Chains A and B, each alone.
Chain A
């Protein structure tokens, strides 16, 4: 359906894989990629055939995060991009089917957000995972509500205020990923787990996930909208533009 996102079927269609396909940019989240991902996700979420959704990325890295370099040229476009990410994250979370992130190499910033809203995340010990936003003068407000739910607010605090990235091993200890496997068997293990989940009763699974989403505030648009506005405000500020300019070697 598009160039930047592919959909693959497994297990006779019971397992759908939504694959980011922009390997030359480490699957950085551009406006086009985000739009295509949302378009690709919608029919999978609606389908009666699809029982489980895998989110994956082509190439060496799962996802390097927001396309910040492109944004430096057009800071006001940031607001729109952050809202697109925010919408994609909630749409992934709100599908009533279990979702699994298959994370090789790196899941950074917004990419780590994609991983964090999934119900399960498979990765390997050497992967670099995390939220280096504050190092760049950027505020990870969009992912914060999801992370507070996933890790508890104390650990979310530590992860987001520390910046940087961590290993897959540490991500497992913190609860950021659910399964740590060998790099070589990552795809196979993810698929095997997805196949096992697909055998569960879809109505029971949907009821469980819907109830969990209600309990933990995953349906609260107001908070998530506000998060996107906070991130947009900080990223267009002087501090962020200076630091990003330095990073990408451009005068900001």
Chain B
């Protein structure tokens, strides 16, 4: 059940949201994303000063659960709406959001990372949007990604489908804290959260909110348009055909 695949602990000064589907590299189902949206909403009105976003297992998040999408035509559109809601809610969350990213943060996983204020990763971490090959448009991630890496690099990363490592992601501004190996990520992220929880919380929230005003994060139009662009592509016959073809090739490889 979804409740088991997302762990939520909002009891302390540092709220923790854990993707817990390690055998599937934390691939997101619709139910998991619903749970995330609820948890973020709950956190927004709570006392926690910081949100730590993490994933159990070797990878942070490999994107959407494609098995479900293959089985249910039309589900991809819903995935995109939910992902758009998550990135918008994370960016607008009053609390600062820290992501601990070991292994892969791809497609929807990379979109979630792009909405976090701080991203801790290692040179072994992977980021990217290799999704046009399955007929999916990563446009839903544009409003948050461009804020971190600028318009030119956002264009290349969105359209190129290339996967970049953590060192490169730090160089272009997607990763804020680069550590030596995956095993150091958890500790480093914990320290950053502790440090944030010690700061003046009124000032911290006011600062995040003001930056959100300045960079357009509180405007609905860019988020609405980006989500609509991705969702429109997802219902094209091309999308369903490419996804089916990708999925059968993948199965053949096993």
Contact = CB atoms under 8 A, between A and B. Distances in A.
Given A152-B150, A234-B206, A157 B200 contact: no
Contacts of A157: 117, 147, 208, 211
Nearest to B215: A153
A134 B148 contact: no
Nearest to B192: A162
Interface residues of A, number: 31
Interface string A224-242: 0001001000100101100
Interface string B190-223: 0000011011111110111011001100000000
Contacts of B234: none
A59 interface: no
Nearest to A141: B210
A140 interface: yes
Contacts of A223: 214
Contacts of B210: 139, 141, 144, 227, 230
A237 B195 CA distance: 21
Contacts of B207: 133-134, 139-141, 144, 160-161
A24 to B, nearest CB: 28
Given A144-B214, A148-B215, A223-B214, A154 B202 contact: no
A48 to B, nearest CB: 35
A243 to B, nearest CB: 6
Nearest to A173: B171
B200 A148 contact: no
B203 A133 contact: yes
A245 interface: no
A154 B203 contact: no
B118 A158 contact: yes
Contacts of B208: 157, 161
A134 B147 contact: no
Contacts of B214: 144-145, 148, 153, 223
Contacts of A230: 206, 210
B206 A154 contact: no
B207 to A, nearest CB: 5
A137 B202 contact: yes
A79 interface: no
Given A148-B211, A152-B150, A153-B215, A138 B117 contact: no
A134 B199 CA distance: 6
Contacts of A160: 207, 211
A154 B200 contact: no
A152 to B, nearest CB: 5
A234 B202 contact: yes
Interface string A94-106: 0000000000000
Interface of A: 133-141, 144-145, 148, 152-158, 160-163, 223, 227, 230, 234, 237, 239-240, 243
Which A-B residue pairs are the 4 nearest by beta carbons? A137-B200, A154-B148, A153-B215, A139-B206
Interface of B: 96, 117-118, 147-150, 173-174, 176, 195-196, 198-204, 206-208, 210-211, 214-215
13 contacts: A133-B203, A134-B200, A135-B198, A135-B200, A137-B199, A154-B147, A154-B148, A154-B149, A157-B117, A160-B207, A162-B195, A234-B203, A240-B202
